[in-house]
Structure formats: C-alpha cells, structure tokens
Structure 1
Amino acid sequence: MSRHLDLHARRLQARGEAFYTIGSAGHEGSAAVARALRTSDPAFLHYRDAAFFIERSRQMPGQTPLWDLLLSFTASADDPISGGRHKVLGSRDLNIPPQTSTIASHLPKAMGAAHALGLWRRLGGQGEWPTDSVVLCSFGDASFNHSTAQGALNAVGWSAYQGAPMPLVMLCEDNGIGISTPTPKGWIAASMAARPGFHYLSCDGLDLLDTWRAACEAARIARTMKQPVFLHMRCVRLYGHAGSDAQQAYLSPQRIKADEARDPLLVSAGLLRRLGVMECDEIATLYHAVSERVAGLAEEAIARPKLATAQQVMSSIVPPVRPGRAMPWQGEVESTPGTMAKLLNQALQRLMATHSHLVMAGEDIGRKGGVYGVTQRLQARFGPHRVIDTLLDEQSILGLGIGLAQSGALPVLEIQFLAYLHNAEDQLRGEAATLSFFSNGQYTNPMVIRIAGLGYQKGFGGHFHNDNAIAVLRDIPGLLVACPSNAADAVGLMQEAVRLADEEQRVVVMLEPIALYHTRDLLEEGDQAWSFADPGPDFRLPPGELGQWGDGLELAIITYGNGVMLSRRALAALGDEAAGVRLIDLRWLTAIDHDSVHHAVANCRRVLVVDECRRSGSLSEEVITALVERGVASHRLQRYTAEDSFIALGRASTATLPCVEGIVARVREALVAQSSMS
C-alpha cells in the first residue's frame, strides 16, 4: 500500500494532480515499529513513514488510510488532517500529530511530550495520552546531523542522565544518504552507541521480523524503565529523494541497481515464501490488486474539492476556542505599589495557584528566581516539577513547551534575553504557530513565552542583552505579541496571555522590557510615579485594547514599551507646550486594531510614532501604513525610530535609540509645523 502510493503520487504529479512526492519507498520497515507500539502512543513521524501510518490504521477499526493519504497527496480540502494545506502524515484518531517537513524540527517537542508523561503522573491528572505511553519520533540519518537534532538528543540524554523519566523511542531511519550527500559509513552507530543517557538498539529495516523484535524491546525499555532508546534502523532509499530528484545525476548505475536489489518488498516477499505464508503468484496477485485499488481511489481523490480562497486557507491559523480550566482566586491582593518585576511575580503566583496544569520552564527560573527576580519563590511554593530549571538551550526550552502543550499542560516559558531567541525561533515559526494550521485546528500547542528584551538596560549592554529586533516575532501568522509599558499593564497582559492560551489555545509572546523591570520613578528619584498597585486577578488587557494619557488635539504620540516612559518624560519636560498632546500605548505589537488606533488619533492634527525598534522592519512601518490606508494625509505623520544598528556597550548603548531629548525635539517640530500651517 505504501509503495503504490509512492508510485502513483509520481504519476499524479506528472498530470499536475499531486504536489509533494517525498515518498517512503525503502523505509517500509517502519510498519514493524508501528506493530510494536500501541495506537495510544503518540508518534511524531518522519515524512517517509507512510507504512507506519498505514499499519497503525490497520490496528484501529474504521480507518481508511489509502483514501486519507491520497486526499493529502492531491491537496484536497477533504483531507482529514490538514484540510488540503499540506501533504502530511497525521491523524487525531491515531495519535499522530502532523509534522510538515521533518528536518529534525520535531525532535525537541517529542522530548517535551515524553517529559510530559512523567509530569502528569506528578500532577495526578490525565493529559492527552495515557501516562504509561511511549513517545515515538522518527527521522533520517541526514537530519540526525542538524543542530536541532543534536540539541534534542543532548536534552534527552541530559534529562535521562539525571534520572528524569523519558519514555521516548527515537527511530533513526538510516538509508545512508541525504539527498545527494552520503552519510559516512558507521557514523550513526559511532555517534550513539555509547551516548550517555541512551539505550542503543539496531535493526535491519529490510527484515520486518528483526525490526519488530528490536522495536518491541525499545518499547519495553521506554515503557517500563522510562528511559530513552535510540533505535537505529538501517534501510535503503529508492526512487531518489523526491519526485523531482534525478538521482542518476549523482549515483552510479551500479549503486542504483544495488539499492534496488535491497528493496524491502523483495526481502519481505522472500520472507513470506520461506515461512510458507504466501507463494509467488499470491504475492503478485496482491501487488497488482493494491495497484489497481490505489489507481481507482486516486481518480476519485483528484475530483474532491480543493481550497480556493484566502479565507479557506487561513481559517485554521487561529485555533478553536475551548472551555477554560482555571479555578477562582481565593487569596488577597497586595495593595502596596510595586515594580513590573514584583507585580509580574505576584501575577504568576496567582496564575499557578488557579491553573493547576500551568507549568513554567526556563534557564535559572527556579532556585535563582530568574536573572531579574521575576520568578522568585515560585519553585519553592509549587515544586521543581512545575517550575523547571532547564539546560541552557532555548531550542529545547521551546520544544519542551510545545510537547507539554500538546500533552494538555499549559506551559509558560522564559527566554532569558530576546537575542537568545534567534537561534531557536524556528520552534515558534515552524512548529508552534503552524500546528493548528496544518492540522485544520485538530492539534494545538497553547503556550506563553516570556521574553526579556528591548534596549535601555543599564549596567549591562551589548547587542546580546539589549536587543531591539522584533520583526521575527511580528511576521509569524497567528502569533500574538504583547509588550507592557508599566507594572499594572504587565499584570493585565500576562493574565490575558494565559487566558488566551488556556481558552483560545493561542501561542502568545510576552515581550517584557528589561529596563522597566525595576523602574520605580518617572521624573526624579523617589517620586515613585512608575510604581503601580496590583490591579488584581480579574484585570486583563485583550489584544487591540489601547492605553491613553491625555486628550490633546494638536499631536498624538503612538508608542509602546520603553517609548511610553520616554514620551511621558518628554512631555513633562515640555511643560505647557505639551498641553495639546495625547499619548497612545499600543500594548499589543501584533493583531493591532488599526481601526481603533485610527479612531484614537483621527481628530489630532499630527501623529508621531515613537518606535524603539529599528527603522527597517519595525512596528512603525505598519502603523504609519495603516493610518495612510485609512485616509490620514502623509504630511500629518512622522516617525522616530532606532537606527538600523546593533546596540553598543557602555555609555554608547543608547546612542542609536530614541531618547527623551529626541522626542522633545520632534514634538516641538510637529507643533511648530502645525502652528505655521494654521
């Protein structure tokens, strides 16, 4: 069945009816792995694992794997997993979350899913999968070398080495070549046979019985000992990397012929004959019958509806809403005004108390309480299984969170500095934010990611600790990004972020300005004007809700984060000159309600956008464009941004950023220009 799907996909591609032809030919031994596992065991599959998918389908009544996969091949809107958005192997019924292009990017979340099984036992609840499950993730020998794979392998070994439960089978399907680049002979075994924390098993993927025995042993170890297994399955790749790959360009005829002689269908046919199960004519009859069946179903599949409009394509970017799982808050709310760091800490304590499934993870967030003290005392109160000190690897932190979320937990992750996100951002773009899209809303990984960032940090500096590049977050469809300018708003945004994740299954980033964590004063030392009372557990600021100071008609300043404080100081410096100025705080840096922004500034004669991020690829570009699209004349608009530069160290750290003096100058310029026009 798997083989004829591969063959017919190429025929359909030649007719313009199929669009993604990375096949499974040569990897059919994965069917034996499926046979060794339970259908309730979550499986994060390599794109060459159609045989695994089909064999698992055979173990559950009512499944139609050939039909389902052909709908996926032909990008039909009836495809039961992705709704025609991609050719993926996935099924909610079969506990196979879909993976898009598995160049190892799914390994970190498989690690997170395996960790979650032990976590649910500690929490005393039931997650997405039974707590005695085994997680399977499969990948190729070429993607084994990807930094994502190596990071995941390290995180798995690091955890298991310390005794953390990790019921995970990592299936490496070794066909000896990555597109055209050979894998050095013996490389996989030499790398993994003695790797700390792992059990290493190998099998011949051409021999179904050998593979089944090894897979049974791998499942036994992972399930009973709660330890990770690296299952090395040797196999062969047939027909090239994909339908468009002419392997004759880089493989000799002798090599191609030798690979074809190792075809697992031929080996399996010989096995059936030796054991007296089937004879040659019976095998041939079966082979041709399946071919005819696939061809007939394919003609039906290509006639099924396709996605046709942008609305249809985008309908699954935002996940479906589900009931919230929070309990009411029973405690008191501290009334003493405090800093952003303090109020965030209080809000997180409430959220952990009212959301028993909420789990925090990040570097140094436990015993240390975070670099800036935001998570102090949380681990002592809620335990190390709910406030997890992770290894120093942002990719693994995000992968852990995705796996936890897919298992039913509500993760709140911390990335220590914004610049540290960039080497791991594909876990957000390629995994977290796309899962609902590629599963037609059937799978989600709701989570909150707290990121300390932006500039103006004193006593530190340099572009790895002061980073004002947020474009990578703003261009991910479906991702929400909040940025508070003060302590009270930080509480409202954090509580709304957790609600969005819990009830609306969203992926939310909370971008927390480092320079404002411990700021108490606004204009002079001791004025305590930037200390705020905790607004309490019911205070939330939903996406699109703006903040506003003043109601002047001469000039509106639109800003966010540090820009709010800088603008408040500039207006104070201007004194009576600023009487005609109003200040708008965006609060949310994605999903901006531009109609509300326009309404907030439409009756002002001029608009100044103060943007602490770089001039190119910055938020101000979107804001200005949206105002122009709503009829605001360009001569009324101005922006003041950071330079297109990295941030320097020491006294020069703010030289490229907006400053109070710069805002003062631009406000005066705008007011003078308006006065002269009047």
Structure 2
Amino acid sequence: MDRAQIVHENFLRRVAEGDLPQGAGPSGPLQADLAVQLYRSGCLTRALDIVSRKMQAAGEGFYTIGSSGHEGMAAVAAALHPTDMAFLHYRDAAFQIERANQVPGQSIAWDMLLSFTCSSDDPISGGRHKVLGSKALNIPPQTSTIASHLPKAVGAAYSVGLAKRVMPEHRALPDDAIVMCSFGDASANHSTAQGAINTSCWTAYQKVPMPVLWVCEDNGIGISTKTPNGWIAANFAHKPDLAYFACDGLDIYDSFRVAREAAEYVRKRRKPAFLHIRTVRLYGHAGADVQTTYMPKAQVEADEANDPLLHTVRLLGEAGALDPAEALAIYRQTLERVERIRNEAVTRPRLKAASEVMASLIPPKRSNAPSNGPSTDARAAAFGSDLKAMESPQIMSRCINWALTDLMLEHREIALMGEDICAKGGVYGVTQKLGQRFGRARVIDTLLDEQSILGLAIGMAHNGFVPVPEIQFLAYLHNAEDQLRGEAATLPFFSGGQFTNPMVVRIAGLGYQKGFGGHFHNDNSFAVLRDIPGLILCCPSNGADAAKLLRECVRLAREEQRLVVFLEPIALYPMRDLHEPGDGLWLREYPDPSERIGFGDVSRHGDGIDLAIVSYANGMHLSLQAQKRLAEEGIAARVIDLHWLNPLPEAALLDAVGDAARVLVVDETRRTGGLAEALVTLLTERTDKPVARHTAEDSFIPTGPAYAATMPGIDSILAAARDLAGEAA
C-alpha cells in the first residue's frame, strides 16, 4: 500500500473513530459557512491528488506533484479578492479551487482533471502541461518553478500604482488590488527569490507603493533536503520594510485570520508583507518519490498524523459548523464525484501534431491597439532644441534616443526600466533627457539586478503596459536569461495565448569596443536568445535603421503582443565614419516617425553579382568597407543587412541574394553556436550557390589592443571574399 493510500485509509478510520489530532480551538472571524466551504476545497484538493496517482498508474494521467498537506492555502485564497493577481506555487491547488468558489461559472474539478490528462480541452494550457492557472481567476499559469515567478510579482505590484498615474489603454488590476505570490521554503533560498523579495523591500524603503504579499509555504523540506528549523523566520522576520506574519496552515481558522490581516496590511499600506504558513508534505515530492528512502519512517508517519484535513474536521466539530459524520460523508462524496469526472475527462482529445503543440507559441494579435499619438506641440515641447538637430545626420545612440522619445509620446503605456537610465541617461547616453521628458514614473532607475529588471517588465506587461527594459550589457543577461525563457516566452504557450507579456528588451552588446572592458562589456554571444521559441531578435547597424527597427519592434509588442529583444551594437553607438576618418558616412538623418523597417525585411546595398556578403551590426560596417575595396579589385559585391536575427528573414534574404554567384556570411558571433551556422544551413539547403562563412573564433574577448583579434576584421573579410571568388591574393 503506498503512502497516499495509507493517508486515505487513516483519514477514514480516524474520523470514524473520533481519533482526531489535538490543537488550538477555532477562533477568529471565519464564519461557519465559509469554514465548511474551505473544508470542501480541501477535500477536492485531496481527491484530485489521489485520483491523479490512479490516472498515472492507468496511463491516463501525467502529473503527480500534489497539494496534499497544503490545503490551508484555501484559507489564504478566501482572505483575498478574486481581482488580486496570484502567482502560485505548484502545490496550490487548494488556493485555485477556493478562488473558483469566489467567481461564478467555474467548473474547477473538470478543468483540473483535463489538465492532469493533458487534454487539448484543458481551458488554460490546452494540454501542453499540467499548470495551475486561469484567466477568469486572475491566476497566470505556472509550471514547476524554482522561484522564477517571484520577480514578475514585483513588477505586477509596482504596476498597480503606476497605472493610476499613467492609465494604460487596458489594465487587469483595479486600483486597490494587491499581488499574491507563493513559493516553498526550499525555493525561498534561491537567488531569484532572495533578489525579488529584496527588490520589493528596496522599493518600499523609498516610499514607492509595492502591494505584494509573499506567501512561503513551509513544509520543512525540498524534495529530500531539510530546511533548518527556524530558518525561514530568521531570514525574513526582520527585513526592512517587510511586515512578517506567521500562521499554522493546519488550522483554517488561524490561517484565515492571519492571511486576512496580512492582506489588509498590504492593501491599505501598499507595502510588502511576508506570510509564513506552516504546512506538511504528504505523499512525498511526487508520485515516484519514496520518502522512506531518505526520511525515517517515524517522521513520515508523524507528518501523516498531522493531516490538515483531520485538523479541519476537529475544528469544524468544535465550532459547531459540521459534525465528523457529515465531514466524512463530504470527503467520500468528493472522491466519488472526482472519479466520475475522471471517467469522462480521460476520453477528451489530446494534442498529437507538432502544429497543435506550437499553436500558442505566437500570441494572438490585439484586436484594437490604437495610437494615442502626440500633437505637434507636445512633440516640440519634448524635443526642444533637438528638433533643429534632426536636420543634420546623427550617430546611432542619438537616433535611438529620439525614437524612444517619439514612441513614448505616442504610447503612454510604454515605460523604460534599467540600471542608470534615468538620472545618468545610460552608460552610453542613449536614454539622456528621457527622465526629464517623461518623469521617473516612466523612466525607472532600478537596482542592480537583471532578474528584477526583467521581472519588473514581465509583471508590468500583465497590467497593460508595454515595458522597454534595458540590460546594460549583453554579458549581464546570462544570469537572468530564464526570465525570458522560463517566464516571458512560455506564458502564451502555457495559457493558449490568454496571457501575454509584450515587451521590447533593449540590450547593449556585441564586440569591437576599443580597449574597454573585456568580455563582460564586449560579449559576442547571443545564442541563448535565438534558442527561445517565439522570441524575436532584432539588431540594427546604423542610426536611421535603428530608429525604424525600434518602431517596428514596439509595434510587434503593442499590436502582436510579442516578446522582442532589440540588440544594440555598442561600438556603433558613436560611429561617424565609414571609409576614411572624417568622411561622416556612417551618420544618418533621423527618419520621419512614420517610417519603419518591417518584420522580416532586409536591406541590400549594391547589386554586384560576383558575391553577396550577408551580415549585420558591426559586420555591416566592415562589409561595406570590404565592398569598396573589392570593387577596386574587380569583384562586384552586394551587401545584405539582415536586421532580424531570430527568426531569420529567410524569404527576404534569399530574394536579396538573388543572382549573386556566391555568398559569404560575415558573422561576429563565434564559430560554434553562432548565427552563421543557421545562415549557411539555410543558404546551402535553399540555393546551389557556393557558400562560405567568416566568423569570430571560439574565444572570449580581451581588453587592450587585441580587442578585435578574435573577430572578423576588414583584412580577414577581404581574404575570405577573395578565396570564395577564386581570386586569392
């Protein structure tokens, strides 16, 4: 007999015999009818866990990480409003079940069983994963997280106060909303959790509204690693600007009272609070987990003896709300009902084809995304003397600055966030004056934590904003990349497009900075971004194109709800010249605000038929130099600027290559894992032309005179072009 069956048999026997665990009596504001409802939610939680294991054994179900022992989370749900957004721990079935009781028209048992069986009828994930989540219940879906959902809870909480001042076109959270985020005691140790909670305190310390309720479900163990006794309280009970509350999750009366106090503290004071709720873990981590292989049997049995449902039966009896016989009948009836629903749920269709699985990778377009765009007077007031400067060619960084200004004037829901972007105007001056133009509410100086920056953006996008977060250097992205991979990109996938988080992530990166910074400030690896399904990666090479492409990236975010990364080549920010010092040929006039380069479009420079050079960013600057030198040698080349690095603009690229006899790919990323691998594959599969690649070496980038030694240079590009053209010198 497995532990789930043992817990079940123990419950039946102990309730029938009146052998109930001891504890404090019922007290607090929990009324009898709501107390019985919480018990029913707990019974349904338990029944779903039991049946999920039976479904797995029968080959009908595919998920057995249960919520048994955490039934007290139903009391937390009852203490909140259904308009409070909830980012849930994966053991929070009881929370979702109880919230479903607060919203008319729900069929929560049916919905969750469809999720267990991975049916395409599952109303949240469409059969892609067993997730907790519901659009109607204001619960964005979560998979098995290790604290990765905490940063976006900070962003969602911050957005509530900002929305009152900025008023985005549409928002999900009312003015009095709070954001609840739950997690386990083991996850509380993760750097992501520590960073997110620290960010909430850092923000509140500055008197900025931060209505977030952190809920730590402490069952004392993470899979097999015990949490030291007292560790959670020692870690969080005395943090600055974080109110600490503790309750016994085995006692629904205590849990409801304390959770309501914590929620009201957050709602009224608009400050973060930490609710530490004691729970137990029944059955082990998941269906395949045998606790007795790493825990003494006596400890397992002690936890089982503290079954929250047994405590609830005792409390309800002492309160006169429900006698044990009635409680036992409800438990049995719930199991029977879940079995009946299971028999129907397992007959529902499942996903089969790749196209079905991938249908929600790309979110649906917005049906209505109007422009709120600026008057001539508003534009003149924002730009001031810069309007006159627009009459002359400019460097890339200034063109990006002006494009951001125009976009923020046009769309009030755009907000920028990042390190040093407001007061300083960015490390390279790209965001200068934006703080003065739009205020600190929309140009947000963040603390130094990339996970928090991206989480802030994801959470704000949940409430109708179009965030434009900045990662100061590409190398800094790597410690926070999972916020894009595991949270932002998966949100539409696991919600059937019901939840989206559109944004444009600006990242300064790539190499060729002369004598500065080494590999932390010169990073030529963005393979991690190209590996994220649904993410769009864009990279300009000159100022005019940067402005046009940034506008298209914002359109993709606003109108098509896409996750976009705009990679800005640092070395080209100040670039002025192309062939000779002082020629000014890399400067560009700022294009009219109506001009864009469309998604999937490329640019072609020249019509030479001997050779097509395909490149982007710094490679474009070098390739155009090479084009001139090659022409002097009698080799007619065309140069193609990709613009879009993921997904590749395949059709436009092949059309631009056209009748060129040969193709050289100039790629400043590394030979292994670089962009050239995909480009050469495409060109080889789709054309019969000779194709070669010239890439960076598999190396980090050094500081000092050798800053460009590992990457393509003008001489090496010329040599590669001559070799391919059969004209090696």
Q: Give the TM-score of the pair, scaled to structure 1.
A: 0.98
Q: Distance in 2 between matches of 1:640 and 1:519?
A: 23
When structure 1 is superposed on structure 2, of 279-288 and 368-377 the one drifting more is 279-288
Q: 1:261 aligns with which of 291, 305, 326?
A: 305
Q: Specify the alignment match of 2:210 in structure 1.
A: 166
Q: Distance in 2 between matches of 1:366 and 1:54?
A: 43
1:279-316 Cα shifts (integer Å, max 9, x gaps): 22211111111001001101111100101111111111
Q: Specify the alignment match of 1:35 in structure 2.
A: 78
Q: Specify the alignment match of 1:324 in structure 2.
A: 369
Q: CA deviation at 1:246?
A: 1.1
Question: What amino acid is the match of 2:338?
Answer: V
Answer whether contact 2:120 2:127 (CA < 8 A) is retained.
yes
Q: Specify the alignment match of 1:87 in structure 2.
A: 130
Q: 2:342 aligns with which of 276, 298, 320?
A: 298
Q: 2:691 aligns with which of 612, 631, 637?
A: 637
Q: Specify the alignment match of 1:146 in structure 2.
A: 190
Q: Does 1:515 align with 2:571?
A: yes
Q: 2:711 aligns with which of 654, 657, 674?
A: 657
Q: Specify the alignment match of 2:294 in structure 1.
A: 250
Q: Distance in 2 between matches of 1:212 and 1:460?
A: 57
Q: CA deviation at 1:535?
A: 1.1
Q: CA deviation at 1:16?
A: 1.2
Answer whether contact 1:47 1:102 (CA < 8 A) is retained.
yes
Answer whether contact 1:543 1:591 (CA < 8 A) is retained.
no
Q: CA deviation at 1:429?
A: 0.2
- The runs of 5 or more residues in structure 1 that have no matched partner are none
Q: Distance in 2 between matches of 1:558 and 1:572?
A: 15
Question: What amino acid is the match of 1:304?
Answer: R
Q: Specify the alignment match of 2:663 in structure 1.
A: 607
Equivalent positions of 1:55-134 (< 5 A) are 55-124=98-167, 127-134=171-178
Answer whether contact 1:448 1:508 (CA < 8 A) is retained.
yes
1:193-226 Cα shifts (integer Å, max 9, x gaps): 1011100000000000100011111111100000
Answer whether contact 2:627 2:639 (CA < 8 A) is retained.
no
Q: Does 1:361 align with 2:417?
A: yes
1:229-251 Cα shifts (integer Å, max 9, x gaps): 00000110000001111111111
1:118-163 Cα shifts (integer Å, max 9, x gaps): 1112214562110110100000000000111011011111111111
Q: CA deviation at 1:674?
A: 10
1:81-107 Cα shifts (integer Å, max 9, x gaps): 111111011111110111112210000
Q: Specify the alignment match of 1:394 in structure 2.
A: 450
Q: 1:25 aligns with which of 64, 68, 72?
A: 68
Question: What amino acid is the match of 1:186?
Answer: G
Answer whether contact 1:318 1:506 (CA < 8 A) is retained.
yes
1:50-98 Cα shifts (integer Å, max 9, x gaps): 0110101011111111000000111000000111111011111110111
Q: Distance in 1 between matches of 2:124 and 2:688?
A: 44
Q: Distance in 2 between matches of 1:599 and 1:127?
A: 42
Q: 1:473 aligns with which of 517, 522, 529?
A: 529
Answer whether contact 1:543 1:592 (CA < 8 A) is retained.
no
Q: 2:259 aligns with which of 215, 240, 247?
A: 215
Q: Distance in 2 between matches of 1:10 and 1:379?
A: 55
Question: What amino acid is the match of 1:180?
Answer: S
Q: Specify the alignment match of 1:667 in structure 2.
A: 721
Equivalent positions of 1:536-547 (< 5 A) are 536-547=592-603
Question: What amino acid is the match of 1:440?
Answer: G
Answer whether contact 1:571 1:578 (CA < 8 A) is retained.
no
Matched-pair identity in %: 57
1:358-411 Cα shifts (integer Å, max 9, x gaps): 100000000100001110000011100000000000000000000000111110
Q: 2:480 aligns with which of 424, 436, 447?
A: 424
Change in Cα spacing, 1:548 to 1:391, as seen in structure 2 (3 Å) is: same
Q: Distance in 2 between matches of 1:428 and 1:172?
A: 24
Q: 2:632 aligns with which of 547, 553, 576?
A: 576
Q: Specify the alignment match of 1:449 in structure 2.
A: 505
Q: Distance in 1 between matches of 2:138 and 2:252?
A: 23
1:492-515 Cα shifts (integer Å, max 9, x gaps): 110001111000000100000000
CA RMSD for the aligned pairs? 1.3
Q: CA deviation at 1:602?
A: 4.0
Q: Distance in 1 between matches of 2:432 and 2:727?
A: 50
Q: Distance in 2 between matches of 1:138 and 1:33?
A: 10
Q: 1:628 aligns with which of 684, 707, 711?
A: 684
Q: 2:326 aligns with which of 282, 285, 305?
A: 282
1:474-494 Cα shifts (integer Å, max 9, x gaps): 010000000001111100110
1:310-346 Cα shifts (integer Å, max 9, x gaps): 1111111111111223223434762211010010111
Q: 1:550 aligns with which of 606, 612, 619?
A: 606
Q: Specify the alignment match of 1:383 in structure 2.
A: 439
SS at 1:508's partner residue?
A: strand
Q: CA deviation at 1:3?
A: 0.4
**When the two structures are aligned, how many residues end up with a matched partner?**
673
Q: 1:199 aligns with which of 243, 263, 267?
A: 243
Answer whether contact 1:360 1:411 (CA < 8 A) is retained.
yes
Answer whether contact 1:606 1:674 (CA < 8 A) is retained.
no
Question: What amino acid is the match of 2:65?
Answer: I
Answer whether contact 2:515 2:705 (CA < 8 A) is retained.
no
SS at 1:200's partner residue?
A: strand
1:523-570 Cα shifts (integer Å, max 9, x gaps): 112111000011121111122101111111111100111000001112
Q: Distance in 2 between matches of 1:672 and 1:297?
A: 72
When structure 1 is superposed on structure 2, of 504-513 and 120-129 the one drifting more is 120-129
Q: Distance in 2 between matches of 1:33 and 1:325?
A: 39
1:399-453 Cα shifts (integer Å, max 9, x gaps): 0000000111110010000000000000000001110000000000000000000
Q: Distance in 1 between matches of 2:190 and 2:371?
A: 39
Question: What amino acid is the match of 2:305?
Answer: A
Q: Distance in 1 between matches of 2:167 and 2:148?
A: 30
SS at 2:589's partner residue?
A: coil
When structure 1 is superposed on structure 2, of 108-117 and 118-127 the one drifting more is 118-127
SS at 1:170's partner residue?
A: strand
Question: What amino acid is the match of 2:447?
Answer: L
Question: What amino acid is the match of 1:174?
Answer: D
SS at 2:133's partner residue?
A: coil
Q: CA deviation at 1:574?
A: 3.2
Q: CA deviation at 1:576?
A: 2.2
SS at 1:536's partner residue?
A: coil
Change in Cα spacing, 1:27 to 1:559, as seen in structure 2 (3 Å) is: same
Q: Distance in 1 between matches of 2:320 and 2:124?
A: 39
Q: Distance in 1 between matches of 2:505 and 2:100?
A: 36
Q: Distance in 2 between matches of 1:662 and 1:290?
A: 73
Equivalent positions of 1:556-567 (< 5 A) are 556-567=612-623
SS at 1:493's partner residue?
A: helix
Q: Give the TM-score of the pair, scaled to structure 2.
A: 0.91
SS at 2:216's partner residue?
A: strand
Q: CA deviation at 1:459?
A: 3.8
Q: Does 1:343 align with 2:399?
A: yes
